[in-house]
């Protein structure tokens, strides 16, 4: 997608922003913020510039200045392609939104698509596709075959690679066109399509090319942390899965609370109790739960929960 104002359109402002970036890369954030302020005097409607200023101000310890810059970003870019509302919540200047802005999520993964596999697997010890596949086969049997598998939030197709041998037909859905292009290169999916899991089922794109109640297995490997309160996800999966179909998915562990937590990474962590409630509301019985380190973030292990549930064919009212 085309993002507004990544370049200021002003040569002098862009040059000052480049110098600011160099200061920031050297850890001199106060100097970087000062140069960005000078750049924004030239182009005060540059949303990306205000977002960069917010980053430098925060890292130099000027929380109020960072907050003001982020509020300017939201005013200039109501679609919030930069995720400024999430940052404001992390800084304590706003309530966490129930779900992240989808333009932000789409841009994040479009930008990340080319280096996604290398960054996750080789640098962050990402293990969810393998461990989630093992969880399904541990329950269903190592030689199990599933007639139709729907991989929602499929990304570049890492779970599809792990599970291809066990799927008669494998469908992949993702918000990011860049991620879908990378998944297509792996040549393991029978069908790939764009879908927005934050929307109601009939608007999501999951049923544009296929009927409801068609999936023997729905997988969601490491995607729910980008979807907040999951208000639309579980009902959509309930409509996608046939009665008796399985739902396998991962979340970041949100601890002992009962509501999702927005972390400084701008990802949501989900407590076990919250997920159990969402499953029950949408007509799923929990079959298995495993705790696992799902990746590393800034050198620290990220604890996750892996769930396997069965759809019993009706949702609770």
On whether residue 104 sits in a domain, the answer given is no
My answer on whether 128 and 62 are in the same domain is no
Inside any domain, residue 107 = no
Element (H, E) at 284: strand 284-297
Residues 84 and 156 occupy one common structural domain: no
Enter the tokens of residue 100: 């992240």
Residue 317 belongs to a domain: no
Domain holding 82, by residue range, is 11-95
pLDDT for position 316: 43
Q: Is residue 178 located within the same domain as residue 266?
A: yes
In this predicted structure, what is the pLDDT of residue 87?
Answer: 97
Is the same domain home to 85 and 122? no
- Whether 195 maps to a domain, the answer reads yes
> Is the separation of the CB atoms in 33 and 65 below 8 Å?
yes
Mean pLDDT in order along the chain per 10 residues (317 residues): 60 93 95 96 95 96 97 96 96 94 92 78 81 96 96 96 97 96 96 96 94 97 94 96 97 95 95 97 97 87 96 65
For residues 290, 296, 302, 305, the Cα torsion angle rounded to the nearest 10 degrees is -20
100 closest CA partner among 80, 115, 120 = 80
Those residues whose C-beta lies under 8 Å from the C-beta of residue 317, and which sit 6 or more positions away, are none
Task: Pull the structure tokens for residue 221.
Answer: 């490997």
CATH of the domain at 20: 1.25.40.10
Q: Does a structural domain hold residue 70?
A: yes
| 136 and 258 assigned to the same domain | yes
Q: Which residue has the tokens 């706003």?
A: 94
The answer to whether residue 316 sits within a structural domain is no
Task: Specify the number of domains making up the chain.
Answer: 2
Specify if 106 maps to a domain: no
Q: Are residues 91 and 129 in the same domain?
A: no
How high is the pLDDT of residue 70? Answer: 98
Residues 76 and 199 in one domain: no
Same domain, 236 and 284: yes
Query: Do 146 and 292 have their domain in common?
Result: yes
Within a domain: 1: no
Distance CA 307, CA 6 (A): 39
CATH number of the domain that residue 179 is part of: 3.40.50.150
- Which of 43, 68, 95 lies at the terminal end of a domain, its last residue? 95
pLDDT at position 297 is 83
What are 67's two structure tokens? 């907050």
């Amino acid at each position: 997608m085309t993002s507004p104002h990544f370049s200021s359109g002003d040569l002098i402002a862009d040059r000052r922003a480049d110098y600011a970036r160099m200061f920031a890369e050297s850890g001199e954030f106060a100097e970087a913020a000062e140069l960005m302020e000078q750049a924004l005097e030239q182009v005060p409607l540059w949303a990306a510039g205000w977002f960069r200023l917010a980053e430098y101000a925060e890292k130099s310890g000027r929380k109020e200045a960072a907050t003001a810059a982020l509020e300017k970003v939201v005013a200039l870019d109501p679609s919030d392609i930069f995720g400024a509302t999430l940052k404001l919540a992390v800084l304590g200047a706003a309530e966490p939104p129930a779900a992240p802005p989808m333009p932000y999520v789409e841009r994040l993964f479009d930008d990340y698509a080319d280096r996604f596999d290398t960054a996750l697997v080789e640098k962050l010890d990402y293990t969810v596709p393998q461990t989630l596949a093992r969880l399904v086969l541990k329950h269903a049997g190592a030689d199990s075959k599933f007639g139709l598998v729907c991989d929602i939030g499929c990304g570049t197709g890492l779970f599809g690679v792990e599970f291809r041998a066990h799927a008669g037909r494998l469908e992949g859905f993702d918000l990011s066109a860049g991620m879908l292009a990378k998944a297509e290169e792996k040549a393991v999916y029978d069908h790939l399509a764009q879908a927005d899991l934050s929307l109601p089922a009939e608007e999501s794109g999951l049923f544009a090319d296929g009927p409801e109640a068609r999936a023997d297995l729905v997988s969601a490997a490491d995607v729910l942390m980008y979807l907040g309160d999951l208000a639309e996800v579980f009902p959509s999966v309930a409509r996608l899965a046939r009665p008796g179909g399985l739902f396998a998915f991962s979340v970041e562990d949100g601890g002992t609370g009962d509501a999702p937590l927005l972390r400084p990474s701008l990802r949501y962590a989900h407590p076990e109790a919250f997920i159990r409630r969402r499953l029950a509301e949408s007509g799923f019985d929990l079959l298995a739960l495993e705790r696992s380190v799902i990746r590393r973030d800034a050198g620290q292990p990220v604890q996750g929960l892996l769930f396997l549930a069965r759809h019993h064919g009706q949702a609770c009212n």
